[in-house]
Amino acid sequence: MDLSPDVYQIAREILYRDGIRSHFQLEMDFPMEDYWAIITNWENITWVMDAIKQEQLGEQIRRLSFSTGTTLRERLMSTDAATHVLVYAVLESPMPAKMYEGTVTIKETAPGKTFLTYDAVYIPKDGVDPAKLKASVDLNFTHRVAWTVATFKK
């Protein structure tokens, strides 16, 4: 979904007003600044579960390929180094959602420990049961929590 900035802002307002929300949080034994450096390098996919390849498409847009054979296209919307918040939008994916935006927030809880919060908001495609989509996203998040904690340890 490539929209002009004005149209995207209107769509984003609808997303945040009407969208379904999913959330996970975790604490990992990994330094916050190291994790921030990984996730804000848009060419680095080591923090994306099951991603095996990425291709930069310009304007902070990348295409990710996964071990499952699926691909998605996403845009880095913003990063804030002061608050350690990263926001991205999924532009194309096999997920049955019209719009999807993810927000990653990290905080240092102790030296070498990072608390990660991930919030997603999304709107199902026409004909998709919202409860089933949320259940699917939440199940994926459960797997991502375990994978992230196991992957990012120092």
* List of domains in the chain: 5-151 (3.30.530.20)
What backbone phi and psi angles, to 5 degrees, belong to 146? Answer: -60, -45
What pTM was computed for the model?
0.92
The candidate with the shortest Cα–Cα distance to 40, out of 89, 79, 83, 90, is: 79
Q: Give dist(CA 60, CA 9) in Å, integer.
A: 17
* Largest Cα–Cα separation, the chain: 47
Please tell me the predicted confidence (pLDDT) of residue 4.
Answer: 67
What is the signed CA dihedral for 105, 107, 112, 118, rounded to 10 degrees?
A: -30
> Which distant-in-sequence residues (6+ apart) come within 8 Å of 20 by Cβ?
121, 122, 123, 124, 130, 133, 134, 137
If we measure between CA atoms, which residue out of 7, 1, 17, 30 comes closest to residue 114?
30
CA 27 to CA 116: how far, in whole Å? 6
Helix runs in the chain, H state only: 5-18, 32-40, 130-151
Per-run averaged pLDDT (10 residues), the chain, 154 residues? 70 91 96 97 96 94 96 96 97 95 97 97 97 96 94 92
- 16 contacts 120 by C-beta, under 8 angstroms: no
H-helix or E-strand spanning residue 117? strand 113-124
- pLDDT, residue 58, reads 86
